[in-house]
Structure formats: C-alpha cells, structure tokens
Amino acid sequence: MRRLYRSQTNKKIAGICGGIGEMLDVDPTLIRLLAIVALFATGFFPLFFGYIIAMFLVPIGSQPASAGSAGPSSASSAEPDTRS
C-alpha cells in the first residue's frame, strides 16, 4: 500500500493534491479540479481547513532521483572503459 506524501514535483501550493495524484496514480490536475469543485460545494471552509491541516500533518515526500545520476554510462563507473 502506498503512503500519502506531499509532492515535491507536482506542487502548486503545498503539494497535497499532487501527492494524492501520485498516490492514486491519477493526473494531479484532475485532483485539483475535483478539489476546487468540492471547495465550492462544501461552502469553502471545510475543505479549506482540511487542506491547511493536511499541510502540517502530511509528510514531505523525497525528491526523485535525477536523470543524470550515477548509472551505467556515468563517468564515475567502477568498471574501466575498455573500448578502443
């Protein structure tokens, strides 16, 4: 089971909707649109306060590894280059 973390890559305000989208494997934009609809449907304050509380309770997720990290084609590879 995947855990909910605040997203560091799909972040607009605090990363809550991005984190929900990543956890459910859904586009975060869809989660944001549903949140806006729910925000107006509930009279603004319940969802707004829920978001503020989630900003403090939901932990921040780790940064994903960059594409340029040490891999087989990295210059710092442990194997010597034997190509001529």
Q: DSSP alpha helices (H): ranges in 1-84? A: 16-24, 28-41, 45-57
Whether 31 is in a domain gets the answer: yes
Whether 48 is in a domain gets the answer: yes
Cα torsion at 5, 6, 9, 10 (round to 10°)? Answer: 110
Digit-by-digit pLDDT tens for the chain (84 residues) are: 677 777 777 777 888 888 888 888 888 889 889 988 988 888 888 888 888 888 888 888 776 654 444 445 444 445 566 676
Whether 50 is in a domain gets the answer: yes
CB crowding 34-43: b at 16 or more within 10 Å, else e: ebeeebeeee
CA nearest to 35, candidates 59, 25, 24, 46: 46
How many domains, the chain? 1
Statement: the pTM of the whole predicted model exceeds 0.85: no
Whether 41 is in a domain gets the answer: yes
Domain span at residue 31 reads: 16-57
Whether 11 is in a domain gets the answer: no
Q: What angle do CA 51, 56, 60 make, to 5 degrees?
A: 100
Whether 3 is in a domain gets the answer: no
pLDDT score of 2: 77
Whether 30 is in a domain gets the answer: yes
